[in-house]
Chains A and B, each alone.
Chain A
Amino acid sequence: MKQANSPFALQTLVGAGVLLIGAGLAFGALSIPSEAGYAGVGPNFLPWLVAAVLALCGVLIVREALTGGFRELEQDTGDSPAPYWPGFIWVSAGLLANAALITTIGFILSCTLCFMLAVQGLRRASGQNAMQPAVLVKDLITGFLIAAPVFWMFTQFLAINLPGLTTTGWL
């Protein structure tokens, strides 16, 4: 991370993000009608209020970031270990693949895949060698053994619709 030039650059960015959300909400509020009836406040009152407060919070956060950083942070966040991005990518890949594939390959297979990808990242994060065939097979079986009973329990007993690869209700 490029924290070298300005120690609180990321915090400033967070504040700017909040400010941006406020601005976005204000833009959206423009198209909400204001007819208030007897109440004097209509459907656009709270949107404007939320937009204004968030924008204000954004400005104040930026100010805190620029004047010595966030106040009263937990002590350990300052010197927390560097983030392990490869692990983050593995877990993200698992979640996104799951979202993309669940309707085509069904809940069980999609979740097993998600489990395998996520556990790769988590194993690597804790310093394990996760690419060995034995580990991969173990993860495949574990993922399936979690996903399949969950699928059966929810679809068969609780009649909740989850997508299957087939229409048998078992896979």
Chain B
Amino acid sequence: MDIWNQLLQGFIIAGTPVNLMWALIGCALGTAIGVLPGIGPAVAVAMLLPITAKVEATASMIFFAGIYYGAMYGGSTTSILLNTPGETASMVTAMEGNKMAKSGRAGAALATAAIGSFVAGTIATVLVTLFAPIMAEYAVKLGPPEYFMLMVLAFTTVSAVLGKSTLRGMTALFLGLAVGLVGMDQISGQARYTGGVPELLDGVEIVLVAVGLFAVAECLYAVLYEGKVKESQNKMSRVTMTRRDWKRSIPAWLRGTAIGFPFGTIPAGGTEIPTFLSYAAEKKLVKNVEDEAEFGTTGAIEGVAGPEAANNATVTAALIPLLTLGIPTSNTTAILLGAFQNYGIQPGPQLFTTSSSLVWALIASLYIGNVMLLVLNLPMVGLWVKLLKIPKPQLYAGILIFATVGAYGMRQSAFDLFLLYAIGVLGVLMRRFDFPTAPVVIGMILGPLAEAQLRNAMSIGEGSARVFFERPMSLTLIIVVLAVLVLPRVAKAMSQRKRANLPA
């Protein structure tokens, strides 16, 4: 068993004391970041990107993966205990979790969230172990036209399908592509939009954009609009589950995993759809009248267990397109891709052959991280809850200090700090007028790669765009992109017509 051997090798590398320490710090930091409002895993990884200059690749990828994972565990704590919606991923958890906490069952909600995250995370990691190498083998056969179309698919879903307004999503995506244009053209070496500033030849640092859009903008937005928002916190209770809780949670976890995993593997981005689907499924499948009555009233445990599991399964599965295709499907995976690039490593099908020890150590660290996080989040949950007591003014002002480290530490340029502020103001404007920010980050990182694939593909076609239509796989992807664009609109129009017909 080849996979088995390689995974074992991965465990040996990930199990060295130094790497275990990085995993533990990553998981703890990730949990803290997930718990703290106003800061998410994407910005945390971005702020810490400067460490890629000094820390060895395997160690820092294990560290970043721990943050990525830990934030998913920590996020549920906040959404169950605080009565304000946090990140979108945990919004669904908040619906039932909050109600459970209000009726004195916060402990059970936290337990099912943590154990569900563990179950889903572990199952999804097993699936990643089994399928990623196969996927990579298959992906080697894809040429530039197919890659380009896959990236177009990722662009389409992230900007046109997931957001509320296609127009604002597209605007955000193309703003990101515009930022990605700055610097040296990958193929011809031509300088573009540098305005003669030598620093800009390397392009705009992704740290600046991510930290500016998420951390600085968050702080500026909070001071402008959220000063008077009063928060209330639910009472903690003992973190245990009754036999009935277990009986209801286990099937929900498994269903959530089954729903979440496929969504992570396709370049469709985001955890909103799988978590909502899982919630809807749980609500529909509930048989017991007693359990059904809990939905939306005192809080049904299935409504926490399912979406939490779906969330973690999606997040884990998202590593498959990242590692095997080099295509990020979320903010955080986009920044992880940036981290790889800082090491001169380009994720893609070759990664499993060229950096095989790194990949397998990373996958092994996911197993280890899940166990660590279960321990960190079940017995020690009381510790994390204390983080919610940090007053908002000090929290946001403190985040600015970390933002400075990330932005300045990357290039040691004070000019970058002014740029950081400008990007922060842009972020406030985008948030105020409801423009999504994820497409900016994904467009900026994926844009240059997509452009290179486009031009390589056109070279294969000797300058003709027909190459995209003549290859079956590429043609299929074009049809998928069109379907993704058209079908939701048709469905919406049909349901509107149905509604219009009903009263008559």
Contact = CB atoms under 8 A, between A and B. Distances in A.
B393 A119 contact: yes
B317 interface: no
A28 to B, nearest CB: 5
Contact of A107 (B55, B404, B464): B404
B325 interface: no
A71 B164 CA distance: 9
Contact of B227 (A28, A47, A84): A84
Interface in A59-78: 60-61, 64, 70-74, 77
Interface in A104-138: 107, 110-111, 114-115, 118-119, 121-128
Contact of A119 (B177, B394, B429): B394
Interface stretch (B1-9, B268-276, B410-418): B410-418
Question: Chain A binding site: helix, strand, loop or mixed by DSSP?
Answer: helix
Contacts of A162: 405, 408-409
Interface in B424-467: 424, 429, 432-434, 447, 451, 454-456, 458-459, 461-465
Contacts of A123: 393
B177 A50 contact: yes
B223 A50 contact: no
Among A46, A81, A142, chain B packs the most CB atoms within 10 A around the CB of: A46
Interface string A17-61: 010010001001000110111111111011100100110011011
Interface string A139-171: 100110011001000100011111100000000
Contact of B404 (A45, A96, A98): A98
Interface residues of B, number: 68
A125 B223 contact: yes
Contacts of A95: 216, 400, 417, 420-421, 424
Contacts, number: 215
Contact of A53 (B174, B193, B394, B447): B174
Contact of A87 (B168, B175, B224, B462): B224
B417 A70 contact: no
B455 A41 contact: yes
A3 B66 CA distance: 47
Contacts of A159: 54
B190 interface: yes
Given A72-B165, A74-B164, A154-B405, A98 B223 contact: no
Q: Is the interface of B mostly helix, strand, loop or mixed?
A: helix
B454 A41 contact: yes
B51 A160 contact: yes
Contact of A147 (B50, B401, B456, B462): B401
Contacts of B220: 88, 91-92
B219 interface: yes
Given A84-B225, A121-B223, A96 B400 contact: no
B432 to A, nearest CB: 7
Interface stretch (B27-35, B101-109, B181-189, B362-370): B181-189
Given A38-B463, A81-B225, 7 more contacts: A18-B171, A33-B190, A118-B400, A125-B228, A160-B409, A162-B405, A163-B408
Interface of B: 50-51, 53-55, 164-165, 167-168, 170-171, 174-175, 177-178, 181, 185, 187-188, 190, 192-193, 216, 219-220, 222-228, 392-394, 396-398, 400-402, 404-405, 408-409, 412, 414, 417-418, 420-421, 424, 429, 432-434, 447, 451, 454-456, 458-459, 461-465
22 contacts: A11-B433, A18-B171, A33-B190, A35-B188, A39-B463, A40-B465, A50-B177, A53-B174, A71-B167, A91-B220, A94-B397, A96-B418, A102-B408, A115-B400, A122-B392, A122-B393, A127-B227, A128-B393, A146-B401, A160-B405, A163-B408, A163-B412
6 shortest interchain CB distances as A-B pairs: A125-B227, A40-B463, A99-B417, A122-B393, A87-B223, A118-B397
